[in-house]
Structure 1
Amino acid sequence: MYDIALTVAACLRSGTRVHVSWVVGSDLTLAGGAPLDPNSSLALTPGGGRVGSLCAGALDQQLAEHASVLGETGGRVVRVAVGELEAEAFGLAGAGTATAVVLNGELLPAATWELLQERQPLRVRLAREGDELTAAALQDPDGHEAGSSVNDLEVVTTCRPVPTVVLAGGGPVLAALEQMAPLLGWRAQRASDADTARALVVGLGPGDAVVLAMHDVELAGPVLASTLDGRAGYVAALGSRAMQQSRETWLSGRGIEGLERIHTPAGLDIGADGPAQVAVAILAQAIAERSGRAQAKA
């Protein structure tokens, strides 16, 4: 639920109704047999607004229909199915079913959204009467893995943040990073355009990273500005010395602070040769930042 926390919190502050949904049981898998992300969730606002997705988007429309008849309070346990054609269209391994919860965002304790925005682990217990969800409470997540359990009396979901690296732009280095990041247990999110990148970096926390490879300073500048306005723990930007200087001039000329957070040139100095080795150097530097063992900048 980390990806929708900022949106849900903003809706609740403004008095806008927002429904939240996530999968609590499923036999669906991604093509190739990869499991679904247990932290995936979907926020639904009146008028058809959606943030996030479930099962690669295959469940979103069905859950939006359930939310539209739910009303302003409470929640429900619902069951949805995906056919073969839908599965193929959304990149799933095959047809299947899922059990999900759909509830008003106000049903969850206010601290839920604060913890999620801080990218902290949490465990929420939803009391149920039949398929109706009647109450929610936070519990200690210690000792529990990410995922959900369901019985006749309750639904219990544990969320744990997965380190995320946003890859803004394109090129062979970012392609290599996209392949390598999952080997570390990280989630890689590609954003080929500036608007998508800016949306992705907003919700990042100290355990997350941003690597930028955009050659147009008018595109790269706003992405870096949004990143520096956020809490991403590691920020790197690829490019020549001339490009580095152009970005710095663009940012400083607009009063953007925190330029010292940007690692450029990106990656540890390991004599990297070629995109794959540069990607290794960048990931090594990001790991060093996360562990508090980063090398001092020259």
Structure 2
Amino acid sequence: MRRLSGSGVGVVRVLSRHGFGTVESGQIVVGTAGGERAGELYRGALDDSALPLVAESVAGPGTRDAHVAESAAIDAGLACAGGATLLGHPLPAGHAEVLGAALENGTPAALVSTADGATVLVLTGPGLETVTGALGSAALDEAAVTAARALLRRGATVTEVVPTEAGDLLLDLWVPVPSVLVVGAGAIGDALARQADLLGWAARSESDLDATVAAVEAFTDADVLVLLDHDPAFDAALLAGLRHGRGFLGALGSRRTQAARRERLLAAGVTEDGLARVHGPVGLDIGARTPAETAVSIVAQVVAERAGRAGAALAAAPGRIGA
């Protein structure tokens, strides 16, 4: 969702639906009183109902039933006809700014409201630790935060109605999918591509320096650099990542290679705090010996980093398993 200007922002979300076949979760439409729009619902099939409701929702919450006939649904690329109840409600400027920034930067985010759209709460951050807004009671806030963080652990974008004693909540959670940029060729790079595919992550390989630097400069928090090439020229990619401040930066290599790279980065003005952001040698210590095992160790470290975990054995971890 791109960030919209203006003080009045309205959002339309799917409160319930039937039909349409398999559709992606987390679809919303946002707009301003000035007519700006971003997003769509079900390939635009609900525009006749959703777009007027966006304009109305800037001023206050409301619902609208939408129905799509078989022919119109198929023309839009959906599997079959269906219907939905849409919820429109205002999104305070501060909430909209925080949510838009998180989605733009590839950071997990959740939008939670009461089922009538009267109150809104936004959660952002790797563990949804930053809370903006409130739902009107501490019990509702706690239910929203608990539900969102539990869903985050599943690792998938969802739209879900959360029942509570005080009424239902509508929760949209967006979990960015990591995209892995592998710089350099070889068996480890091939294994990383296969491992990323297994996890549903995107992966691509690059060998050109300028293209690599440009890609890293465009990173979101969900993006991953795995530098296999030991050529000192590719320090430029790490420097670009450190300047940009987003994404996971990893570099393979022996202790000697890492030490030499460290000295070059220090000479280039990188601080100790900056060096701590470069994972080198990249990967968790699982005793990996083959390219496939090395790929597992690398993606495991990415998963642990995104979850704010150290990557220790579950048996030694405090608290509830899977928490």
Normalising by structure 2, what TM-score? Answer: 0.53
Deviations 1:132-159 (A, max 9, x none): x555551222664761269xx9762135
CA gap of 1:256–1:288, structure 2 versus 1, over 3 A, is: closer
Is the 8 Å Cα contact of residues 11 and 90 (structure 2) preserved in structure 1? yes
The aligned residue for residue 260 of structure 1 is: 276
2:93 corresponds to 1:94: no
2:28 corresponds to 1:41: yes
Distance 2:49 2:204 in 1: 26
2:178 corresponds to 1:165: yes
Aligned AA for 1:224?
G
Shift in Å at residue 74 of structure 1?
0.8
Is the 8 Å Cα contact of residues 284 and 311 (structure 2) preserved in structure 1? no
CA gap of 1:284–1:94, structure 2 versus 1, over 3 A, is: same
Aligned AA for 2:290?
A
CA gap of 1:87–1:142, structure 2 versus 1, over 3 A, is: same
Q: How does 1:145-294 map onto structure 2 within 5 Å?
A: 147-148=160-161, 156-159=169-172, 162=175, 164-168=177-181, 175-182=193-200, 188=201, 201=220, 204=221, 209-212=222-225, 224-225=241-242, 229-230=245-246, 234-236=248-250, 252=268, 258-264=274-280, 266-268=282-284, 270-273=288-291, 277-289=293-305, 290-293=308-311
Is the 8 Å Cα contact of residues 168 and 190 (structure 1) preserved in structure 2? yes
SS of structure 1 residue aligned to 2:14:
strand
Shift in Å at residue 163 of structure 1?
6.6
Q: How does 1:105-184 map onto structure 2 within 5 Å?
A: 105-106=91-92, 117=102, 119=108, 123-127=112-116, 138=135, 139=140, 140=142, 141=144, 144=147, 147-148=160-161, 156-159=169-172, 162=175, 164-168=177-181, 175-182=193-200
Distance 1:90 1:259 in 2: 49
The aligned residue for residue 80 of structure 1 is: 66
Normalising by structure 1, what TM-score? Answer: 0.56
2:18 corresponds to 1:7: no
Alpha-carbon RMSD across the aligned residues, in angstroms, is: 5.3
- Higher Cα Rg, which structure: 2
Structure 2 portions without partners, runs of 5+: 121-133, 152-159, 184-188, 206-210, 314-323
Distance 1:223 1:53 in 2: 34
Identity of aligned residues (%): 22
Is the 8 Å Cα contact of residues 191 and 197 (structure 1) preserved in structure 2? no
Shift in Å at residue 273 of structure 1?
2.3
